[in-house]
Amino acid sequence: MTAAREAKKERAELRNNIKKIEPFFAVMGKPGNSDWLASHNEPGQTFAEYLEADPVKPTAERNKIYVLPLGTFNAKQQKMIAVTAGYLAAFYDMSVQELPQRPLTATWPNVRQNKFAKSRQVKTGHILNDILKPILPADAAALIAFTSDDLYPDESMNYVFGQASLENRVGVWSLSRLDDNTDEQNFLLRTLKIAAHETGHMFSMRHCTKYECLMSGTNHLAETDRRPVDACPECTAKICWLTDTDQKSRYERLATFMKQNNFPKEAASFLKKADAVK
């Protein structure tokens, strides 16, 4: 079979799998007043639209995800970062390398005092352009920094969980708000969701509006908590396509990860999806 015909066959398989895993996902309902879609008018992006958009894809030369701890972290946060690196490896079927920790020494005008929380915040654009871009390794498909500092994108916004640059392959997100009003397991689950979401943006994936999906936009943590730690059928087709991953073995790897990290419900769900795409 020619390479072109093989690629076509693979896409057909991915399209067939969309129907098989559809029953595991809730169709996106009407947004609540403070939910993301109440204030953001987004068209969504199907698998077909994604392919048409000529997305950023890992290549033979750029095939690694780098994770950088930026700033200071307590033991609990350090553990979160290491576990999250493992999730990204399973989720994107790519090799993930954690870089040595670096200090985050931003000064005015790249930092501010948040007027509500009275806490220090660092501007995401500064981290993306001045800190991450210059140290992007040549073989990086993506470089993702974690901070324990709170972040803001511009003066109009109160805070932001994270931000990624679709063109420059760099992204940053903060752990500082993710442990609000919750236990350690859910803190970890939120971190996994946000890390996988932001990384998806770095591979040109847009916000999902069709299902309650890991790639849907979120405005607040209750919305994050409502969302699954997995991508919907359309978004999963994108992920498998972009790394030429076998969907069934990917689900099995994700199930193993969840079992190892004490998420029996999520592990069972991934195994059911592995069965469904047989």
Q: Which residues bind Zn ion (CB under 5 A)?
A: 208, 213, 215, 232, 235
Shortest gap between Cβ of 214 and Zn ion (angstroms)? 7
Shortest gap between Cβ of 222 and Zn ion (angstroms)? 17
Strands 140-147 and 120-123: unpaired
* Residue 8 CA: distances (Å) to CA of 14, 54, 86, 225, 250: 10, 16, 31, 37, 20
d(CA 208, CA 105): 35
**Is 137 in a helix, a strand, or coil?**
coil
Ramachandran area for residue 204 (φ above 0: left; ψ -120 to 50: alpha; else beta): left
C-beta closer to Zn ion: residue 28 or 83: 28
113 - beta bridge partners?
120
Shortest gap between Cβ of 172 and Zn ion (angstroms)? 13
Shortest gap between Cβ of 109 and Zn ion (angstroms)? 25
Shortest gap between Cβ of 231 and Zn ion (angstroms)? 5
Report the b/e string of 199-231 with b at 16+ CB within 10 A.
bbbbbbbbbbbbbbbbbbbbbebebbeebbbbb
Shortest gap between Cβ of 263 and Zn ion (angstroms)? 20
d(CA 231, CA 97): 23
Strands 120-123 and 111-113: antiparallel
